[in-house]
Structure 1
């Protein structure tokens, strides 16, 4: 199968843009975040003060003039031990704040992000979804939502504690010995330079890895979605080779990112070893000359180990932050895209009642340059039942998509009851139109839920009545759980005809002035089609109806038949009139009768 690429325009997304979308959903949690920051700062100061207490205890034992027994512990030593215990207790309490509050904030914000992401996707047109892999969208959405956890942990938790820990260490070391503080300052400066030099390349490699990973997920989704075709044509090896090539590219990108990370980790390790040894050498010289106490030597060793650990953690956090930022950028780029079909800034109140439809000099061209309509005009009076027929590619389905405003006309207008459909909200427009597509897709929910999707307030009695009208009740009752039977992903557990009857039952629940049937009986056998025509006649009552049909028998009884060819009306009239004309429609009819 040919891999489909996302055709969406990619915009350059900055950290500020990503943060803008995070910040919107963090509103209301500022007090929690302040507590986290204060706790983080407190934790940093308290943990950094611990080596100072150890230094004082060691110096006390070195300088104590008398033997210490259980009965004569000096007050100074008791004080230092109590201080050490207090520091550990305070640190423990602060850590509990840092454990529970971020978990609460992150879970709440991620809930908002999930809803926001889906709401943003809903704003895009049908063309966007037809041009974008659904598997890729799911992957990008999941990554974006999960990225917040990494970004929040890194910025509000890890970086805050790290920054104030380093400041505290520098302060305490400076109080003991300024030359040792110079070592730590130089260590930090060189380390910061390393991060600055490596970060851009790291973000770029992580971006390439994320892009290749999305392509692999999209390809896998495409293959699984078409598993019947793969099995039917026995193309397992072909798909394995195709997916293998994509997976190989993803592996290359992943290895490049990993190798670069390993190289930078090695550089960080060598840097830490160098400055630890340099500092240890200096402190030992100063101790040998009596410039520092043994406690200061221990203080330096403890701080050096701590700083080395901090810098190692920073490299890990930078890696995590870079990956999270890259993951978020993919979805934010979609957020930044302007939806193709927009609601008016000041929508009009809906005036649709009788369902008079007018196409006024409509022109429409697809983005690939294919022109479908040029100055196309058509008027359908209220309550009229109209069939739209013609060969594939004549513009039948495009007509309904324009009426439903899944796409916008390039020129001209479409009005319902004199109101331009672009002057009202898309949701309001579609609430006044019932639609049965050619290939209905169901949710992996129960049959009951799928039918009542058209009207969530419908009672069970109304649902059963609608199913009976659609000639679906009988097969539903034969299922193990009846109306509570789950239909599988996209309704795969049902046959094509059964899915179509469920879709027809949906519109039976709606009370709309307009009904569109787009090849609605294409998956039904002749007997089922004949039986369901009665249901359609009932559904069409008091509705303006458009029936898109390949089978001409479906439209033969309608008030009017429009014959399209290359986006133009070539004939129109009743079935008998068109047969009598012996023209385009008669040719189509004769061909189907012969077949």
Structure 2
């Protein structure tokens, strides 16, 4: 089965599960509209036909004789409305509970993905796909109940009643409906491919919009508004062409074929009824046959509309389940070890690693960070410093060797347990569109206000927070856009302080700070690092000069190790880097030859 076919089946499995879990609502939601149609479209015409037959044969037709027919006709119409109200009542609950459950499924699925997944997918496109996966459940179930089941199920009642008049009426009706289905099935499969292309174009448009919004500052800085607008127009035009192609195919191919077949079916049914009415029930049979055929063949007209709605709902939802078919590269072990580390010593033992599609970065790398020590990682960009931190966090898996924390292989631990041991501060901290306090408390949701404020004070967040309109309870905007880079780093440091984890992992944690702020924050960091194991990445060598040990990386190899003083005496790579610094920052330029 193709990837898209598997994705559609997965959508049906999820949607079907929501229906079966709520049978108390889903069964009446599916059946009640069909029973309403039976009453209104098929039972009520029987009463009218009986009245017409009575009038045609000259039977008593006074108010007294016709009153039971009028009462029965009105009762059937009222009963149909009751069934419809029951259907709507139950369907509302199926939709609401189902959408809620599917929103949770989608979020859980996204959170289970590894870092590589988010590196290769637009955030806006993922948001649209995950929300559509849940919201399209409503259209799917409503169409299934009020259109498909409510149209097809009453055909059973119609077939039984027509069979009583003349079996030929049933044979002609069902035979022509099946014949129509066989003819249009290949056309529907062809249209599915066109719909796939259309939905892919829609996803491309939404992804480009999200990308532009996320990087609007860069767009403006490079005066690239017209460039991005032109790209948007190109993508929108592509989406329009593909939408028209799929819509025109349905209109000009499928509907054009169905229309004459509907006419043929009705004419054939009426011809059979006229040919046999004198042998059977007279004019009553002609009226019933005409009404039933008209109601039944309207399904053929509406089938394309019904199919398009189901197809649209499932296809858009399948764009999300397609993502679920690719398993994450980093997963928890089937039988994880309980977390019981013997201290916090970190070991990289004969570690091999390569980024996808690139030569090996690490080959047989060995590195030990003793329990309670502070180790700085330095070296030029591309040496593997940040990659080591990501491997320790297990955002990617190594190709060989092993990494241990407290003697436990991190590949044998649950990811949540491993990361619970670590307070991590990245070079480019991520912020939520929440208050400063909420962003800090994210590290430990159960922290008190006093603890949050203490962490903010230790990271020198209060110095700018108290000047904001609502202080520490001020919203900082999407991705923290209301804060400067240095302020975001202080918030990230406050998170690490509040986390109170036994291992600190700092990746250029002070790179965006001004010199005065860096001195203050470094003092706070040294207090936090006391008694903890710390692994610190830095280009600004003054940040790590006081560490217990410095490790110099170059193209994935450890080329030097030692204290700051020892490495300066060695006159190796570190000493050269130190001399090239200006204000403590490592210049990346290559010495002219």
Compute the TM-score of the two structures, normalised by the length of structure 1. 0.93
- Gapped runs of 5+ residues in structure 1? 1-8
Aligned length: 581
Is residue 228 from structure 1 mapped to residue 217 from structure 2 by the alignment? Answer: yes
Is residue 476 from structure 1 mapped to residue 446 from structure 2 by the alignment? Answer: no
> Which residue number in structure 2 is paired with residue 560 of structure 1?
549
> Residues 67 and 37 of structure 1: is their aligned pair in 2 closer, same or farther, counting only changes over 3 Å?
closer
> Which residue number in structure 2 is paired with residue 6 of structure 1?
none
SS in 2 for 1:371: coil
TM-aligned CA deviation for residue 30 of structure 1: 2.1
Deviates more, 1:264-273 or 1:495-504: 264-273
> Which residue number in structure 1 is paired with residue 257 of structure 2?
267
TM-aligned CA deviation for residue 336 of structure 1: 2.3
Alignment match of 2:57 (pick from 59, 63, 68): 63
The 2-side partners of 1:437 and 1:67 are apart by 89
> Which residue number in structure 1 is paired with residue 67 of structure 2?
78
Contact 1:450-1:502 within 8 A present in 2 as well: yes
The 2-side partners of 1:326 and 1:548 are apart by 46
Is residue 445 from structure 1 mapped to residue 441 from structure 2 by the alignment? Answer: no
TM-aligned CA deviation for residue 344 of structure 1: 1.1
TM-aligned CA deviation for residue 178 of structure 1: 3.9
Contact 1:187-1:275 within 8 A present in 2 as well: yes
Is residue 530 from structure 1 mapped to residue 519 from structure 2 by the alignment? Answer: yes
> Which residue number in structure 2 is paired with residue 39 of structure 1?
32
- Gapped runs of 5+ residues in structure 2? 588-593
TM-aligned CA deviation for residue 487 of structure 1: 1.2
The 2-side partners of 1:188 and 1:270 are apart by 12
Contact 2:55-2:61 within 8 A present in 1 as well: no
TM-aligned CA deviation for residue 207 of structure 1: 1.3
TM-aligned CA deviation for residue 41 of structure 1: 4.4
Deviates more, 1:122-131 or 1:420-429: 122-131
TM-aligned CA deviation for residue 90 of structure 1: 1.7
Contact 1:12-1:333 within 8 A present in 2 as well: no
Contact 1:352-1:432 within 8 A present in 2 as well: no
TM-aligned CA deviation for residue 31 of structure 1: 2.8
Deviates more, 1:243-252 or 1:38-47: 38-47
Deviates more, 1:304-313 or 1:225-234: 304-313
Deviates more, 1:16-25 or 1:469-478: 16-25
> Which residue number in structure 1 is paired with residue 572 of structure 2?
583
TM-aligned CA deviation for residue 12 of structure 1: 4.5
Query: Cα deviation per residue 1:416-475 (whole Å; 9 max; x = unaligned)?
Result: 111101111000000100000100111111111110000111111111111111111021
Deviates more, 1:579-588 or 1:16-25: 16-25
Deviates more, 1:297-306 or 1:532-541: 297-306
Contact 2:552-2:558 within 8 A present in 1 as well: yes
The 2-side partners of 1:27 and 1:589 are apart by 67
Contact 1:202-1:322 within 8 A present in 2 as well: no
Alignment match of 2:336 (pick from 327, 341, 347): 347
> Which residue number in structure 1 is paired with residue 487 of structure 2?
498
The 2-side partners of 1:22 and 1:272 are apart by 32
Alignment match of 2:11 (pick from 12, 15, 18): 18
TM-aligned CA deviation for residue 22 of structure 1: 2.6
> Residues 126 and 35 of structure 1: is their aligned pair in 2 closer, same or farther, counting only changes over 3 Å?
same
TM-aligned CA deviation for residue 121 of structure 1: 1.5
> Which residue number in structure 2 is paired with residue 5 of structure 1?
none
Query: Cα deviation per residue 1:155-193 (whole Å; 9 max; x = unaligned)?
Result: 344322222222222222232344443442343123222
The 1-side partners of 2:337 and 2:286 are apart by 78
Contact 1:437-1:518 within 8 A present in 2 as well: yes
SS in 1 for 2:403: strand
> Which residue number in structure 1 is paired with residue 112 of structure 2?
123
Query: Cα deviation per residue 1:348-396 (whole Å; 9 max; x = unaligned)?
Result: 1112363101100100011112311010001111111111011110000
The 1-side partners of 2:412 and 2:61 are apart by 93
Question: 1:167-566 alignment to 2 at 5 Å?
Answer: 167-263=156-252, 264-280=254-270, 283=273, 293-352=282-341, 354-566=343-555
The 1-side partners of 2:488 and 2:327 are apart by 34
TM-aligned CA deviation for residue 15 of structure 1: 4.5
Contact 1:283-1:292 within 8 A present in 2 as well: no
> Which residue number in structure 2 is paired with residue 53 of structure 1?
47
The 1-side partners of 2:107 and 2:61 are apart by 72
SS in 2 for 1:490: helix
The 2-side partners of 1:191 and 1:12 are apart by 24
The 2-side partners of 1:10 and 1:435 are apart by 37
Contact 1:44-1:164 within 8 A present in 2 as well: no
TM-aligned CA deviation for residue 249 of structure 1: 2.1
Deviates more, 1:550-559 or 1:16-25: 16-25
TM-aligned CA deviation for residue 290 of structure 1: 8.3
Is residue 114 from structure 1 mapped to residue 103 from structure 2 by the alignment? Answer: yes
Deviates more, 1:308-317 or 1:525-534: 308-317
Contact 2:20-2:26 within 8 A present in 1 as well: no
TM-aligned CA deviation for residue 562 of structure 1: 0.8
SS in 2 for 1:367: coil
> Residues 299 and 12 of structure 1: is their aligned pair in 2 closer, same or farther, counting only changes over 3 Å?
closer
Contact 1:18-1:329 within 8 A present in 2 as well: yes
Query: Cα deviation per residue 1:49-88 (whole Å; 9 max; x = unaligned)?
Result: 11111101112222335563x5xx21xx222222112211
The 2-side partners of 1:178 and 1:392 are apart by 83
TM-aligned CA deviation for residue 27 of structure 1: 4.8
